[in-house]
């Protein structure tokens, strides 16, 4: 495979992924609307990297940790 073929294949795969992602999202919305699946929300803590904490603030990591909501698709 040469450069042109490789770059062409990459572009082709990216287009397929984009199309498949749109289809998946539409199917998820439809399955939730029909009651076949749900969206489960969880809380995740996020903070700067451990290396940063060890270097700058090893005792106050809780002060900087933030909660974020994560949406997960689950089948019923």
Q: How many Å apart are CA 62 and CA 70, to the nearest integer? A: 19
Q: Which residues contact 74 (CB under 8 A, 6 or more apart)?
A: 37, 38, 39, 40
pTM for this predicted structure: 0.57
**Which has the higher per-residue pLDDT, 24 or 68?**
24
pLDDT digits (tens, 9 = 90+) for 12-26: 999 999 999 999 999
Domain boundaries, the chain: 1-35, 36-76
pLDDT of 54 > 80? The answer is no
- pLDDT given for residue 31 in this prediction: 96
- pLDDT given for residue 19 in this prediction: 97
């Amino acid at each position: 495979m040469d450069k042109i073929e490789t770059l062409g294949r990459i572009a082709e795969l990216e287009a397929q992924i984009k199309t498949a992602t749109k289809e998946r999202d539409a199917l998820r919305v439809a399955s939730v609307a029909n009651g076949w699946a749900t969206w489960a929300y969880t809380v995740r803590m996020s903070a700067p990297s451990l290396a940063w904490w060890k270097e700058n603030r090893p005792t106050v990591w809780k002060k900087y940790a933030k909660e974020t909501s994560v949406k997960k698709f689950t089948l019923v």
